[in-house]
Amino acid sequence: MLFNSYAFIFLYLPIVLLGFFHLARVRHTYAAAWLTAASLFFYGYWNPAYIGLLLGSIVCNYAFGMWIAKTRTREKGEGERDTGQGASRKRLLIVAIVANLGLLGYYKYANFFMGSVNTLAGTQWSLGEIILPLGISFFTFTQIAFLVDTYQGRVKEYNFIHYVLFVTYFPHLIAGPILHHKEMMPQFAHPSSYRINWEHVATGLMLFTLGLCKKTMGADALAPFANGVFNGVQNGVVPTAYEAWAGALAYTLQLYFDFSGYTDMALGIALLFNIKLPVNFDSPYKATSIIEFWRRWHMTLSRFLRDYLYIPLGGNRKGQMRRYLNLFATMLLGGLWHGAGWTFVVWGALHGAYLTINHLWREWIAERYLRWVPGWIGALAGGMLTFTAVTAAWVVFRSTDIHQAKVMLEAMFGLHARPISLDAVLHGQLLLVTDLSGRDLAKLLFFGLAWVWLLPNSSRLRFVGGNSALALVQAGVVVYFLYLAIDQFGSYSPFLYFQF
């Protein structure tokens, strides 16, 4: 089921909301169980066969978590110093993590690795068709975080219904944010979560509407232009620099509006139930360095990679060279997490290289020789360079293979591109997308770039309830834009991050 569908907005969400708060009057446990069942239905609406896989993963991880917690208690009772390094606990944690990664690896990477082996060895081995379950990367990482937090003694509550709800909570289940156990469990246990909060309802509807507008009027409007250019290149057409940049910028904005729109909707829906999910985006295209970009883009994934991969690898504690190797390895695996393909590996490697260069620049050049440069000049130059580097990397991310990415990047940066027709540029013609207007794309790019560069981040929006007149105006604006967004509903339009 999609957030951007009539069935979700007019049927599923109202029923779940009414049922939740009605049952909460009887008993909080009933309301939590209702929300858990509704979340499982939400997931199974796509393919009921994978509910069993999700529940199996939840039961196994919960059992491992309880086992690790009991082992920790027993070890402390026997006098072991609380170092977090009990041998039996560590073995249990390793087995549990390997089991999770094995499940993820089979569904997401088995055919990719088999295809790579076949290419190198000239074999024709096959595992048959493997359908990727929706959200498997997200619910796997969420539960790995739970296991590590349990191992480190950070988990304080083990209510099974709350744990199932923590994993399956439908606003975040399919495409994040990636949650920590400690962020959610206290909220599910707090009595205020089970009473209607009209301020939360108003703010939640505002966030949901904003996200829906990003999806329908931003991402979905840009998609035909991005797809047209990339598909043209895939079919063997060499683009002009103008066409290549048009396609690259269209995809750069499409991906942002699609994913941040989903996240805004997820935060808004969760707030209707008085649950606050962590912010996942903080205007990342305003970043003035790659380091800052990764503090603003998909923030919960960045946090996960830092806490559970970069730091365990040694972080910056083992010398400068090891630090950069750890950074590069983290981004390489982060790229592979996004998808089973060499383009994702190269995308991760690019960002690993970007981050390494950024750190070296700061340490060896900027802090030593460029302190005299005015801050606004550094921010402007850094922002332009960062956005260009990110856009170039998104080209690799979007491409179906390395050759397609190579053709696009060569055209963008003046290598082996078709000559630009000044007449085509002046008349807004995109020859690779003959049925769409380049002028329409120019308008979308203008408003899209103005949005991501000039407007405040959505996490700073709040519904103004103190002034009744202002509140009515704000409510009217929300209803109007909700109508505009719903009016754009057309064919099936899944979110891009569903495939990851």
Q: What positions carry a catalytic annotation?
A: 338
What are phi and psi for residue 429, nearest 5 degrees? Answer: -95, 130
The percent helix, strand, coil of the chain (3-state, each to 5) is 75, 0, 25
The answer to whether 107 and 136 are in contact (CB under 8 A) is yes
Q: Closest Cα partner for 274 from 32, 458, 12, 27?
A: 32
Q: Closest Cα partner for 177 from 298, 35, 58, 13?
A: 298
b/e code 309-335 from CB counts within 10 Å (16+ = b): bbeebeeeeeeeeebbbbbbbbbbbbb
Give the integer Cα–Cα distance in Å for 141 and 176: 10
In terms of C-beta density within 10 A (0-12 exposed, 13-18 middle, 19 or more buried), how is residue 259 classed?
Answer: buried
The answer to whether 207 and 475 are in contact (CB under 8 A) is no
Residues with Cβ within 8 Å of 450's Cβ and at least 6 positions away in sequence, in order, are none
Distances (CA, A) of 278 to 115, 134, 313, 345, 495: 37, 21, 25, 27, 20
In terms of C-beta density within 10 A (0-12 exposed, 13-18 middle, 19 or more buried), how is residue 484 classed?
Answer: middle
What are phi and psi for residue 378, nearest 5 degrees? Answer: -65, -40
The SS3 assignment for 190 reads coil
Give the integer Cα–Cα distance in Å for 354 and 370: 20
The answer to whether 252 and 452 are in contact (CB under 8 A) is no
Please state the length of the chain.
Answer: 500
The SS3 assignment for 157 reads coil
Return the bridge partners of 418, or none: 240
Give the integer Cα–Cα distance in Å for 60 and 100: 9
Residues with Cβ within 8 Å of 217's Cβ and at least 6 positions away in sequence, in order, are 484, 485, 488
Residue 311 structure tokens: 């730091």
